[in-house]
Structures are given as C-alpha cells and as structure tokens.
Homo-oligomer: A and B are copies of this chain.
Amino acid sequence: MGFWKSLFSTDAVATASRVQSGASSAIATEPRVAFSTERDLDLYELEELCDAVGWSRRPLRKVRKALQHSFLVVSMWEERGAKRRLVGFARATSDCAFNATIWDVVIHPSYQSRGYGKALMKYIIKKLRSEDISNITLFADPHVVDFYRRLGFILDPEGIKGMFWYPD
C-alpha cells in the first residue's frame, strides 16, 4: 500500500478526488480517479483526449494496432457515480525483459496540475517494475523534461543520447 499512501499524500489529488487502482463499484457520487490496463478502449474517446492537447490526428486503424502491440496500455478515468470520463492515457513498448519505452503520455488539460500526471507515471513505473523491467525510457518534449526529472528520470545518463530517424 506504500505506493497509494504516497499518492494520497499529494495534496492536489487528495482534495477533490481519490486515486485508486483497479475497478470498483461506482456507487459514490463524489468524483474519483481509477486506472485501467484494458487495451480495448473506445478509440474515439481516446482521440478526443488527444485532440484536447492539440496532438495531430492519427489513423484509428494504426492506433488500434499500436494499442494491441504495446506491452502496457494505461488509461485514467474520472468516475462520478455510473459515469466515467477518460482523463489520462499512456502506453509502453517493451521486450518484456530489459527495456521499456513510454509513449503518448497525455492528461486532459482540465485535469492537469492536480498530480494526475505524476500518479499516472508512478502507476506505469510500478507496473513495469512488477514485470522485472529495469530500464524504463522515454523521449520527453522540452517542456516536460523537468516533470520527468522530478519522477526520477535521468536526462542523457552517461552522455547517452536519444536519436530519431524519420523517412524523407
């Protein structure tokens, strides 16, 4: 329970909602946040979330394929009674042994600056660690480098550099 305790201690998440793991009965009307690793998401709902942060649209056929072949898919939901809303998402590719790479980390703008991104990332790290994966990597846009640094990610360790190849 140490992980969840540490979440409850973050003032932002703890005030109006509760961040919990797993599914549970939705009898409370007070909003709360839950995680899911189901990869059979409503792709239109996911597209709406990505639209909200201004990402370019991608063919849903390819998005579906990417979710199917990701090692880990995590969605974050705000639940109010029987209603739920997708407020965060991330996924990771992996060799299931040594390395994982986290992609597409997104928190809905209305839910940013509340500790949700931190909770999402901690959830992912915990999941990957539970699979004995020790080398967790990502490619960070400049404005989120400090966010990831606060979570323990190291920039260019020992001079190792992220590099990209794109088609002409």
Contact = CB atoms under 8 A, between A and B. Distances in A.
Contact of A145 (B93, B138, B149, B163): B163
Contacts of A138: 162-163
Interface stretch (A20-28, A65-73, A82-90): A65-73
Interface in A129-168: 129, 134-142, 145, 148-149, 151-167
Given A141-B160, A159-B141, A97 B165 contact: no
A62 interface: yes
A63 interface: yes
Interface of A: 58, 62-63, 65-71, 91, 93-99, 101, 103, 125, 129, 134-142, 145, 148-149, 151-167
Which 5 A/B pairs are nearest by Cβ-Cβ distance? A162-B162, A66-B97, A142-B159, A69-B96, A153-B163
Given A67-B95, A142-B158, 17 more contacts: A62-B98, A93-B95, A93-B101, A95-B103, A99-B101, A101-B101, A101-B137, A136-B166, A140-B163, A141-B158, A141-B159, A142-B160, A151-B165, A154-B164, A156-B163, A157-B164, A160-B164
Contacts of A159: 141-142
A91 B97 CA distance: 13
A58 B164 contact: no
Contacts of A148: 163
A129 B167 CA distance: 8
A9 B153 CA distance: 42
